[in-house]
Amino acid sequence: MQAIAGFCWWAAVFVSPAVCEATLGNLDPVAVAGFDIPLFVMASAVAAFGVRAAAVVSAGWTGVVAVALAVYATITTEAGWGVLSMGAATAGSLIALCFVLLGRVPTAWITRGPFAFRPAINRPTPATHVASTFGQIVFFWGFFLVVIPFAITVVEQRWAVALPFPSCAGPVGVVVLVLASGLGIWSAVVMSTLGDGTPLPAAMPNRLVIAGPYRWIRNPMALAGIVQGAAVGLIVQSWLVIAYAVVGSLVWNYAVRPHEESDLEVPFGEKFQQYRDTVRCWIPQIAKPQRSRR
């Protein structure tokens, strides 16, 4: 698929001046094609047959091109759409490389080191867990909802890839952000007061919490964070920030959540399995209230 997409893109580059300008700026398409077609398009096609060397070449080349185009676009404000295209190609090449070399994407690496799942150290009062939780909220919300979106917005403007938003986007984003933040704070307080721990993977609760928003949805804090990211995108009118929130949701759902739930089965066993089978992950549902259980 990547080889076909690359071939179609190069065909569009030579047929359409608009595509050429949007993705390559003032770079010579013939000179770039002389390297990119064999090292990206052809290497991707060969890698599809399981040739490891071709997969390594494709992933390495797309990464180099993505970085080089990003520098070029930042300096000249040209070829912004080319940066996004090659960034997506780099992600696809890396995923393909994992399949070719390992037979899978090693998502377990995400939950190692400082992000490994560990139960929280028991503290004398729930207030200490609440204080720790709010410290986490200030740090993570500040980083993921302020610092990163600000950087994305600056880059989006510099690369000239911004898209127009309706005038109501800002006010709608503010309302959604307030509601999502309320859900996140409610979830965090319930988890830290009843769970004898914090929402942070490195200090996880020692009790299975099925109270508050957890009665209707298994991951209210994750849902809140994703909606917050999309709301920030509406407020700053950045489609790339919204895309950042969507990509984050996919990474969390397919890379982090399976390991988290597998880890929860160890201490809570059948109780967690019953909870998982009863309460949905993303779509809230009305369920019979259950008390927090060890």
Mind listing the pLDDT tens digit for each residue in 184-232? Answer: 999 999 988 888 877 777 677 888 888 999 999 999 999 999 999 999 9
Average confidence score pLDDT of the chain: 89
pLDDT over 90 (residue 136)? no
pLDDT of residue 8: 95
Residue 286's pLDDT band (cuts 50, 70, 90): low
Residues paired with residue 66 on neighbouring β-strands, in sequence order = none
Q: Give the whole-angstrom CA distance, residue 39 versus residue 74.
A: 24
R_g of the chain computed on alpha carbons:
23
Residue closest to 250 by CA, chosen among 83, 91, 48: 91
What is the structure's pLDDT at 293?
40
Average pLDDT score over residue span 140-160: 96
**Confidence (pLDDT) at 115:** 64
Four-point Cα dihedral 73, 1, 9, 6, nearest 10: 70
Confidence grade of residue 109 (pLDDT, cut at 50, 70, 90): confident
Residue 6 is classified by DSSP as H
Q: Which CATH number describes the domain made up of 111-278? A: 1.20.120.1630
Collapsed DSSP state (helix, strand, coil) of residue 119: strand
Query: What is the reported pLDDT for 294?
Result: 39
Encode burial over 103-123: b for 16+ CB neighbours within 10 A, e otherwise: eeeeeeeebeeeeebebbeee
Phi, psi dihedral angles at 171 (to 5 degrees): -60, -40
- For residue 35, the tally of other CB atoms under 10 A from its CB is 12
Residue 114 has a pLDDT of 61
- The confidence score (pLDDT) of residue 267 equals 82
Find tokens 């690496």 and name the residue: 109
Which token pair is 194? 């009843």
- Determine which of 43-47, 62-66, 134-138, 146-150 has the lowest per-residue pLDDT on average: 134-138
Tell whether the model's pLDDT for residue 146 goes beyond 80. Answer: yes
CA quadruple 256, 116, 232, 63: dihedral sign: negative
Poorest-confidence range of 14-28, 43-57, 119-133, 255-269? Answer: 119-133
pLDDT of 233 over the 80 cut: yes
Position 257 pLDDT exceeds 60: yes
Does 33 have pLDDT greater than 90?
Answer: yes
- Closest by CA to 224, choosing from 188, 258, 197, is 188
Q: Is the pLDDT of residue 91 over 80?
A: yes
